[in-house]
Amino acid sequence: MLIDISSELEAALIDLSLPAWELDGSFLARATMVRYRTELTATPQFKETAATLHHSLTAENGGYAVLRLGNLFTALGNDDGRFLRVSAAFAAEIATPFSPFPRWPLWKDIGVKIDKDPGKSSGIGYNPFHMDLVNATLPPDYTTLLCIRPDPLGGGSSILSDVHAAVSRLPESSRTLLTESAYHYGTFFDLFGVGEEYKPFPILDGSDPDAGFVRFTAKMLKRSELGQAHADAAQELAEELVRGQVSFMLQPGDYLIVNQRRFLHGREALRQGQEAIPLSDRRLLLQLFLRAGAGADSGRFSRRRHR
């Protein structure tokens, strides 16, 4: 769902000066969240916008939203941190912002690297459907992507798919295979707040759709050794995800928030010719993760390594 904010709210947010955030471990400090909420709830139309955002992410047919903050981004820019503080404040209305990566204190840069594996988040190729931190016992409940610059050549559309709808279209025999702990992907190192390594794991854990994750990444089909039957079942799910996908191009200031218990995400390939674009002009997204429920008390002291 695309969510525009009113011109009245935009004007108020442009004039607002939120304080720099503080962290509690790798989580946004509760005192900062309270301060941000106090400041923003005093602005016109903020409560209504936050309610629409929450509904889009958690309603029965919801699971993702794009908050259109382009005018705000144009007015504030990305140099002094004001725009990121407002964006973090919106995210904090949904759950507790945090960073699993010690290298990035809150927001993680996702730029474009020509020599990177094309299928990685910072690569130039197709990034197939996946959930972030798939092999952690406590994956982020939400993953969010803030667009600073789209691909100037016009590629890199975001793709999303309702994972439970995709699972429902599979035959029972395939769903049974997906409930078995036969899947694994990647390594695990240098992480905060996401529990322990989960290996092997089931793709379907049998939980209520609103309570459990569908632990899937299409990357496991090429990068993990799987038995033929389990690989075939996962391939079926990958095809159903593509069948049900929606796609759109994020514009500067667009803030995509994805409920990882409902939707999986990915990215179409960037357009050819990226090597001719200066690094400072290439596509740039900023990523922030959210933890629902216990927030900073959930896995605060856990630190492992992941790749």
pLDDT single digits (tens) 70-87: 999 999 998 889 999 999
Closest by CA to 249, choosing from 155, 162, 180, is 155
What is the layout of strands, in order, in the sheet containing 158-162? 127-130, 263-267, 158-162, 246-248
Q: Please identify every stretch of the chain with a pLDDT value under 50, giving residue numbers as ranges.
A: 295-307
Which tokens in the block code for residue 286?
């900023």
Alpha helices in 135-190, H assignment, sequence order: 163-168, 172-178
Distance between CA atoms of 136 and 283, rounded to whole angstroms?
A: 28
Q: Do 127 and 266 meet the contact criterion of CB atoms below 8 Å apart?
A: yes
Per the listing, tokens 């069948």 go with: 243
State residue 56's pLDDT score: 97
* Residues 221-237 pLDDT 10s: 988 889 999 999 999 99
Distance between CA atoms of 15 and 302, rounded to whole angstroms?
A: 39
Q: Do 162 and 244 meet the contact criterion of CB atoms below 8 Å apart?
A: yes
State residue 263's pLDDT score: 97
Question: What domains are defined for the chain?
Answer: 2-306 (3.60.130.10)
